[in-house]
Amino acid sequence: MFEYEQEIVDALLNENENFKRLHSRHGELKEKVKDANSGVAPLDGYTLDTLKKEKLHVKDQMAAMINQYRQAQLN
């Protein structure tokens, strides 16, 4: 995730508690989705879809923070 932005991600992880919280939550959701898809943690379709949507929402929030950080560095 955000392989091309690793320097910014590292900076935000060190400087921004909200980004750190979102990053952690994204990791948790990613594991839950992976476990559900592999059958380790069976979930119904609705619950799995809900987890995927939350994971995407968290990723979108992190992407917005990365973009804001990048813009701030340009100014």
Task: Judge contact between 16 and 65, C-beta under 8 A.
Answer: yes
pLDDT at 30: 97
pLDDT at 2: 78
pLDDT at 3 over 80: no
pLDDT at 1 over 80: no
Tell me the whole-structure pTM to 2 decimals.
0.89
Tell me: the pLDDT tens digits for 4-17?
Answer: 899 999 999 999 99
- Total count of residues recorded for the chain: 75
In percent, the amount of the chain with pLDDT more than 90 equals 84
